[in-house]
Chain A
Amino acid sequence: DAKTTQPNSMESNEEEPVHLPCNHSTISGTDYIHWYRQLPSQGPEYVIHGLTSNVNNRMASLAIAEDRKSSTLILHRATLRDAAVYYCILRGTGNQFYFGTGTSLTVIP
C-alpha cells in the first residue's frame, strides 16, 4: 500500500486560502492522487484528484510536485463549512482506498 504523510492538524482564518500538504515519496507512475474530506458524522466526500498536472474544480485546486512525491490541496477561501478531516490518498491497482489519519482543519471565524 502506497503511503501518504499529512500533518495531524492545521488552522486557518475564515476567507483566507488554505494549503494542505501531503507527502507520498513512494508513489508509483500510475498512482492517482485523490483527496477526500470528512465532515463530522458523515462519510468521506470527494474533493479532487489528479495524476501529474495541477487540477482545479469548484471546490479546490490540487498542485502536484514535478517529481510527484508531494502534493498540496488548496482551498482558495476557507469557510466554516470547510472544517473537516482531509485525506490524501494514493490509488493504484484495485478499487480500494487506503486512508491515513488525515489532517484535521479548523477554520477560525
Chain B
Amino acid sequence: DAGVTQSPTHLIKTRGQQVTLRCSPKSGHDTVSWYQQALGQGPQFIFQYYEEEERQRGNFPDRFSGHQFPNYSSELNVNALLLGDSALYLCASSLFGGSSADTQYFGPGTRLTVL
C-alpha cells in the first residue's frame, strides 16, 4: 500500500513564474491538506480539499490555489512566485469527517526554490 506521494521532489523557479505541485493521497483517504514549511519552522496549513472543493483555508493569499480530482489526488498552484515562497510543501491525507482522533499521513514534500 503506497503512502502519500508527491511530485516533483525538487523544483527551481524564478520570481513571477507559476508552479504546480502534485499529491496522491494514501489509499482509502479522501481528503488532502497542503502545508508550507519554511526553513527552521513548523508546517503552516494552506488549505484542505474534500469532494473536489476547498473546505478550509489558512492565512495564505489568493496566489495559492488548489484542485482535487475525482480520484482524490490534488494539485497546489502558486502564481506570481516570490522569493518568500521558497519552502518545503507538504501534502497530508486523511478521512474527512473523521474525528479529531484521526491521524494525517504526510508525504515527503516538494522542495521549491524561487530565485
Interface centre among B31, B43, B100 (most CB of A within 10 A): B100
Stretch among A15-23, A62-70, A71-79, A96-104 lining the B interface: A96-104
Tell me whether B58 and A43 are in contact (CB under 8 A): no
Q: In chain A between 40 and 68, which residues have their CB closer than 8 angstroms to a CB of chain B? A: 42-46, 49, 51
A34-B103 contact in complex given A44-B90, A95-B94, A96-B48, C-beta closer than 8 Å: yes
Number of interface residues of B (CB under 8 A): 30
| Category for how many chain A residues contact B | 20 to 34
Tell me whether B43 and A99 are in contact (CB under 8 A): yes
CB contact between A96 and one of B45, B101, B106 (< 8 Å): that residue: B45
- Looking at the assembled complex, report how far the CB atom of A75 sits from the nearest CB atom of chain B, in whole angstroms: 19
Tell me whether B33 and A96 are in contact (CB under 8 A): yes
CB contact between B101 and one of A42, A51, A93, A101 (< 8 Å): that residue: A51
Residue of B nearest to A46 (CB): B103
Number of A-B contacts (CB under 8 A): 63
Residues of chain B within 8 A of A49, CB atoms compared: 101, 103
Residues of chain A within 8 A of B66, CB atoms compared: none
Tell me whether B106 and A95 are in contact (CB under 8 A): no
Tell me whether A43 and B106 are in contact (CB under 8 A): yes
19 more contacts with CB within 8 A, not counting A32-B99, A94-B48, A102-B42, are A30-B100, A31-B100, A32-B101, A36-B106, A43-B4, A43-B90, A43-B92, A44-B106, A93-B100, A95-B33, A95-B56, A95-B94, A95-B98, A96-B58, A99-B35, A99-B44, A100-B42, A101-B40, A101-B41
